[in-house]
Amino acid sequence: MRLTASAIAEQFGLTVVGDGTTEVNGVATLAHAGAGQLSFLSNPRYRPQLADTHAAVVVLRADDAEAAKGTALVAKD
């Protein structure tokens, strides 16, 4: 099943930053994510991994959104 970043954002009350049509077909850690996969950043110590991740979409806080290099889904908390 493939979902777009916009569909995920709508379902969970997140804000899309970037391309809302980006498709997601799986989930992985920042370090192991590849094309088409969603990842998340919740612990600040993993923030440096944003620069190297290949995740199609990353869920993160607004404070970290500027560090995301692709499509981001911004959570309120």
Mind listing the domains of the chain with CATH numbers?
3-75 (3.40.1390.10)
Single-letter code of the amino acid located at 20: G
Q: What pLDDT, on the 0 to 100 scale, is given for residue 77?
A: 76
Burial of residue 16, with CB atoms counted within 10 A of its CB: 0-12 exposed, 13-18 middle, 19 or more buried? buried
Mean pLDDT of the chain, nearest integer: 96
Structure pTM?
Answer: 0.93
pLDDT one-digit tens code per residue, 26-54: 999 999 999 999 999 999 999 999 999 99
